[in-house]
Structure 1
């Protein structure tokens, strides 16, 4: 049985808790996808670089391609570091929102809800006793 008394702060704590939980899950998945994509690109670039370095007398185009691959490697490492730090900050924020939401929900809202339900149960028991007397 749901209490008919509205508790105004109930929804905001649920929002904090559930949005923090959902965003934490999404951000952790993004973090793993970032690492997987980075590793795939490093492996592909390694294959191309080793093939180009194996050429004894490379052409100008092959030298430029090798230089571009090395530059892409530096950029990818820099991007990975930036994205990892950014995702770490957002994951921390999400965990904080989730913990705060669940904590506030449990300590502020749930005791009031439990008390309301307890009083409703007592009221119903009294009504049952009164109805039995009237019969």
Structure 2
């Protein structure tokens, strides 16, 4: 398998930041999904109970069905609340891990990368200066020979 998005394995802090963002975004998406699917189930059961309540003559089976629908709605509401608590806590966990990863990367790793880039730039400038001097010396010796 060849992933389109490369996973940052060069630094554990980048991995934590990326992992935290994925958990945070997945939790938010799952929260919306749980909210919508639960509402759809409740609306379906509510419509069934409304049909049964409209009946003029309700049999024992209809009353039992109404009671089961009420219980299903209550259970679904409780499950929804539990799922949402879990997803909200996991989104906060993801946000915390992402924040910690970004902060640690910025404080520990980024200064080293900046220093390395400055040193590389200084080295390149020294190489350019050295090549310019050697070119000038070569030009002087060429003109001196003529």
TM-score (normalizing by structure 2): 0.82
Structure 2, unaligned stretches of length 5 or more? 1-8, 136-146
Give, in whole Å, the separation in 1 of the partners of 2:26 and 2:80.
18
Tell me the equivalent position of 1:49: 49
Tell me the equivalent position of 1:98: 98
Query: How much has 1:56 moved relative to structure 2?
Result: 2.2
Matches within 5 A, 1:1-135: 11-135=11-135
CA contact (8 A) 1:10 1:109 kept: no
Structure 1, unaligned stretches of length 5 or more? 1-8
Aligned length: 127
Question: Once superposed, what is the RMSD of the aligned Cα atoms?
Answer: 1.4
TM-score (normalizing by structure 1): 0.89
| CA deviation map 1:52-103 (0-9, x unaligned) | 1111221222122111101101110110111011111101100000111111
CA contact (8 A) 1:17 1:100 kept: yes
Query: How much has 1:45 moved relative to structure 2?
Result: 1.1
More contact order relative to length (CA 8 Å, sep ≥ 6): 1
Tell me the equivalent position of 2:139: none
Tell me the equivalent position of 1:5: none
